[in-house]
DNA sequence: TATGCAATTATCCGACCGTATAACAAGCGG
DNA sequence: CCGCTTGTTATACGGTCGGATAATTGCATA
């Protein structure tokens, strides 16, 4: 009865968002080992139990956080095309240049990526998330290459996109 | 109370080597979280207690493992100079090309580097190891640049080396 | 204002972490 | 062949991990 922590009910989206971004912050700062359920909940301003109310397991939260990270990176990268030159070659050049510069690749993003790397290798579900976002990125790259003046057959196109990405 | 695990006494160097390389293997495979004292000892064929007989703490073992990794990478990179062309520019080109190709940079090495990244950021002693090996590498790079035909003052030399490394 | 639902907190659990310490035995110098 | 040193194993401890479950309470609805 005494001294129970007061709280506010929040929308599901808001809580999930808070938990995901808390997890990303912690992974960026201290690596995977720092992103414990207790630390994540603490940073999100809730108690640890709530995590399992919104996510089936910590692994699922980790996957969602990684998905969020990848989406943010590809979106940041794609955003440069909004006010890019119209010349196809210049567009492609701008795109790949952006993909190697902040904010899509900066110390924080690299730290995050490093933190998730081994999860990707070990967890199959994580690999799916990785594959999904990667394919989306490659398709975008491929469409830019396809817009290039020189003609090319589809197979060559895909190979070029892969090579360019590497 | 028999049934005690039989064992052989080994030279200190051998044990330390086994423990360090076991730690590196585990970090490469499963990230920092997989390199527990028990897992390391198990892979090295000993019992966990022995780790603290050779290292003051797990952190010290981690530092030594990281030092070993960095030395191996820089040595692998420097090895290319043994049978490299004599032309200064070609030597430099060969050196930086090697520094971006296997075996100095390959999936395993990247995984290792990712596994240690956050330790470097957090642990001051770890940063010293990092700084030491990095400076050695930069000096080597600088000496290659210095051998270039065009003249340059020392300050410019150092700046060039840093830029080249980035 | 009273009531019910569920979002949130609180507490407990088994497993594993790194570490400390004690018991044991391998192998060398006598 | 026999002690002695010390490399090695065994066991225990406190802490934290992710997860499960019970208790509480915010809040929308009637």
Residue of B nearest to A114 (CA): B114
A50-79 confidence digits (pLDDT tens): 999 999 999 999 999 999 999 999 999 999
D10 C1' – B46 CA distance, angstroms?
12
B48 Cβ contacts chain C strand, under 7 Å: yes
D chain positions with any atom within 7 Å of a protein CB? 7-11, 16-22, 24-28
Q: Write the DSSP string, B123-154.
A: -HHHHHHHHHHHHHHHHHHHHHHHTSSS---H
- A2 band by pLDDT with thresholds 50, 70 and 90: low
Q: What is the mean pLDDT of each run of 10 residues along chain B (166 residues)?
A: 86 98 97 98 98 98 97 94 91 90 91 95 94 92 85 71 73
C chain positions with any atom within 7 Å of a protein CB? 7-11, 16-22, 24-27
Contact between A129 and A70 under an 8 Å Cβ cutoff? The reply is: yes
Contact between A78 and A43 under an 8 Å Cβ cutoff? The reply is: no
- The pLDDT value given to residue B2: 60
Does the pLDDT of residue A152 top 70, yes or no? no
- The pLDDT value given to residue B100: 87
D30 C1' – A9 CA distance, angstroms?
21
Nearest nt to A53, CA vs C1'?
A: C7
C18 C1' – B101 CA distance, angstroms?
37
- Using CB atoms, pick whichever of B31, B113, B121 lies closest to residue A32: B31
- The pLDDT value given to residue A151: 62
- A143 alpha-carbon distance from chain centroid: 21
Give A89's contacts (C-beta < 8 A, 6+ positions apart). A148, A149
Expressed in angstroms, the distance from the first to the final Cα of chain A is 60
Give B134's contacts (C-beta < 8 A, 6+ positions apart). B70
A22-49 confidence digits (pLDDT tens): 999 999 999 999 999 999 999 999 999 9
- Using CB atoms, pick whichever of A30, A33, A118 lies closest to residue B111: A118
- A160 band by pLDDT with thresholds 50, 70 and 90: confident
Cα gap A163→B16, rounded to integer Å: 42
The three-class DSSP label of residue A135 is helix
Chain A 11-40 residues whose Cβ is under 7 Å from strand C: 12, 15
- Using CB atoms, pick whichever of A31, A111, A122 lies closest to residue B30: A122
A133-142 confidence digits (pLDDT tens): 999 998 998 8
């Amino acid at each position: 009865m005494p001294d129970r922590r007061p709280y506010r009910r929040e929308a599901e989206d808001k809580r999930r968002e808070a938990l995901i971004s808390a997890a990303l912050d912690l992974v960026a700062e201290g690596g995977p080992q720092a992103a414990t359920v207790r630390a994540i909940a603490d940073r999100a301003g809730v108690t640890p139990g709530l995590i399992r109310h919104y996510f089936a397991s910590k692994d699922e939260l980790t996957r969602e956080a990684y998905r969020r990270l990848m989406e943010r990176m590809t979106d940041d990268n794609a955003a440069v095309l909004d006010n890019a030159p119209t010349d196809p070659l210049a567009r492609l050049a701008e795109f790949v240049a952006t993909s190697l510069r902040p904010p899509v690749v900066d110390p924080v993003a690299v730290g995050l990526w490093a933190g998730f790397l081994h999860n990707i290798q070990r967890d199959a579900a994580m690999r799916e998330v990785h594959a999904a976002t990667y394919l989306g990125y490659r398709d975008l790259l491929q469409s830019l290459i396809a817009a290039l003046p020189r003609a090319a057959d589809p197979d060559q196109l895909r190979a070029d996109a892969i090579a360019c990405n590497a």
